[in-house]
Amino acid sequence: MTHPGEKFYPEGVHWDDPIARGTLPDLMSEAAAEYGARPAIEFRDRPIGYAELEAMVEVAASAFLRAGYGKNASVALFLGNSPDHPVNFFGALKAGARVVHLSPLDGERALSHKLSDSGARILVTSDLAALLPMALKFLEKGLLDRLVVCEDDDWGAVGNPHTPIPNNPAIVTFKQFVDGATRPERWPSITVDDVALLQYTGGTTGLPKGAMLSHGNLTSAVSIYDVWGKAARAKRDAIERVICVLPLFHIYALTVILLRSLARGDLISLHQRFDVEAVMRDIEVKRATAFPGVPTMWIAIASLPDLESRDLSSLVSCGSGGAPLPVEVARIFERKTNMKLKSGWGMTETCSPGTGHPQEGPEKPGSIGLMLPGIEMDVVALDDPTRVLPPGEAGEIRIKGPNVTKGYWNRPQETAEAFVGDRFLTGDIGYMDSDGYFYLVDRKKDMIISGGFNVYPQMIEQAIYEHPAVHEVIVIGIPDDYRGEAAKAFVKLRAGANPFTLEELKAFLAGKLGKHEIPAALDFVDELPRTPVGKLSRHELRNLQPARHPAQPEHQELATGGRS
C-alpha cells in the first residue's frame, strides 16, 4: 500500500518503519540507566539528573504500594508544572496504578465528575493557593480517602501564594507519605496493554469522558516522533534544551515534551506558567533549542515590538500545536525572525501524534502536514463515515495507529460511536490535497449551518486575522431569523489599535470569504476565554453568552471592552 505524502518524508524515514511499544516505567528506568547524572529537568535554576529523578520515582512508587494504590488503582494528580508531576506520574505507574490527570483550570463540577468516574480515591496536589483549596473540597465531599500535599517551596521559594495544610488524618504531606517507604522485592508486572492514563477530554458537550491510554499507546507515540525525527537528530547529534511552559497535565506537553525528551536524554526547562519574557530569556540567555507552543503563545511572541532585534538563533525547532495556527501569525513570525513556524495536529485520543511537517518539503500555508509514520488517516463523508472522499473534498478525518486509544472509560456506547471498524472518528473536518498534506477546516461540532450552507468559524477567523488591528479573534454561531444561524466575531484588538465597525469589517473581508461566511455581528472584548493549555475556547465563549432572541441578519452588536 502506498501512503500519501511519504515521498516528502525526511531522508531515511519510511511510513512502515517499526514503531516500538513498551511501558512508561521502563522508559524512565532505561533513560536513567543510559543518561545517569545528565540533567533531565531544570526548575527554578535547579537541575535534576536522570538517575536522581528515577530515585525519586522509586521512592514515590514504594509509597503508593505501601498505601495500597498499586495494580488496578487510580491515582489522581492535581498538579501544575513542577518536578512533583513527573515524580508522582512515573511513581504511580511504577506501582502499577493508572494515572488520572486533573486540570487546575477546570471547575469543581467537572473535576468532581472525573474523580468519581475514574474511581480515584487518592489525590496528589500542592499547597499552592491555586490548588489546595479545591482539593480540600473533594475531601469534604467524600470523594477521597487520602490527600497527599506536595510543598511547593521544597523546590526553592519564589513567593507563590500558599494555603496552610489542615490538620486532618486523611491529609499527609508528600514527605510524610514517602517517609520510611521501602522498595519492594519485585515491582508489579505491567504490560503494554495496561491502561496507564485516563486522560479526560474537554467535555464540550455534557460531562468529560476519559480516554483510556495504554502504556503501549503512549510509548508508541514517543516512538512515532523518534522515527520521524531520527534523520534531523543524527545530523545535529546534540542534547536539546526544550522549553516546557505547556501544562504537563495536557497530552501535548506530556508526550511531546516530557516523555519524548526523557526518552532522548534531553533537558526539559520547566516553567510553572507562560511568561513571554521568561521564555525569551530561556532562548536568548540559556540558549534553548526547542520550544513547542500553542497559537496564543506564538501570537504573544509575534506581537513583541522588538522581536526583530531579539536573538532567537539558538532555536532549532519551534512548533505550534493544540489548536489551528492562524496563517497570518506564522507569516508575521517568519517575516520578523526569518524562521518557519509550522503547525502539526494530534489529539488526546491519539496521545498527541497525528501529522507533522518535514524540514524540507513544499510550502503549504495553513496545512497541518503529513500523516506521521505508522499512522493511517483518511477523510470520510459527514453523512456516511464509511465513504472515503477523494483529495480536495472536505469531510471528517479518521485515524488509525498504535497510538490511538481503544476507547473511553466506562463509556461503551460512546466508544462504539467513535469508531468505524478500527478507525477513530476525530470530529475534525478537513481535507487532504493531492500531495498527501492535510488541512483542518474546523471541528464538526463548531460548524455553523447558515442558510443551508456549512460555515466553518476557523476559516472566518483566518481571514479576520489578516486585519492589522486584530490581535485575537473567536467566531461562533448565533441564532439568526433569516439564515437560522450566522457568524459572530469576538475581537481582541492589538495594543493602541482603534475599533472598527461591522460594515468596515465586511468590506475588509469582501473577496476573502463567501457572502454566507461574512459575520453578521461583531463584539470587541478585553480578553477571550482560553482552555487549560492556553487555546482560545469557543466552547467557553458560547457559555458566557447570555440567552437572547435570534438576531436580524444585518444586526450589529458593538461593545468596547468586556464580554457580552
All structural domains of the chain, each given as residue ranges with its CATH number in brackets, are 6-19+215-443 (3.40.50.12780), 24-190 (3.40.50.980), 447-544 (3.30.300.30)
Instruction: Note the pLDDT tens digit of each residue in 277-304.
Output: 999 999 999 999 999 998 889 989 999 9
What confidence tier does 394 reach under pLDDT thresholds 50, 70, 90? very high
Instruction: Note the pLDDT tens digit of each residue in 217-259.
Output: 999 999 999 999 998 899 889 999 999 999 999 999 999 999 9
Q: Which three cell numbers stand for residue 372?
A: 506521521
Q: 72 phi and psi, to 5 degrees?
A: 70, 5
Kindly tell me if the per-residue pLDDT of 483 is higher than 80.
Answer: no
pTM: 0.85
Using left for φ > 0, alpha for ψ between -120 and 50, and beta otherwise, residue 338 falls in: left
Kindly tell me if the per-residue pLDDT of 154 is higher than 90.
Answer: yes
Answer for the pair 40, 49: CB distance below 8 angstroms, yes or no: yes
What H or E segment, with its residue span, contains residue 478?
Answer: strand 470-480
Report which of residues 446 and 192 the model is more confident about: 192
- Taking the CB of residue 369, how many other CB atoms lie within 10 A of it? 22
By the 10 Å C-beta count (0-12 exposed, 13-18 middle, 19+ buried), 109 is classed as: exposed
Q: Cα–Cα distance between 414 and 110 in angstroms, integer?
A: 18
Q: Cα–Cα distance between 503 and 239 in angstroms, integer?
A: 53
Instruction: Note the pLDDT tens digit of each residue in 419-428.
Output: 999 999 999 9
Q: Closest by alpha carbon to 302, among 337, 343, 278?
A: 337
Answer for the pair 441, 430: CB distance below 8 angstroms, yes or no: yes
What confidence tier does 275 reach under pLDDT thresholds 50, 70, 90? very high
Instruction: Note the pLDDT tens digit of each residue in 75-123.
Output: 999 999 999 999 999 999 999 999 999 988 777 888 999 999 999 999 9
Instruction: Give percent of the chain above pLDDT 70.
Output: 95
By the 10 Å C-beta count (0-12 exposed, 13-18 middle, 19+ buried), 161 is classed as: exposed
Report which of residues 177 and 322 the model is more confident about: 177
Amino acid at site 49: G
Q: Which three cell numbers stand for residue 115?
A: 474523580
What H or E segment, with its residue span, contains residue 109?
Answer: helix 108-118
Return the DSSP state at 15. T
Q: Cα–Cα distance between 504 and 92 in angstroms, integer?
A: 56
What confidence tier does 216 reach under pLDDT thresholds 50, 70, 90? very high
CB crowding 388-424: b at 16 or more within 10 Å, else e: ebeeeebbbbbbbbbbbbbbbbebeeebeebbeeebb
Q: What is the pLDDT of residue 564?
A: 21
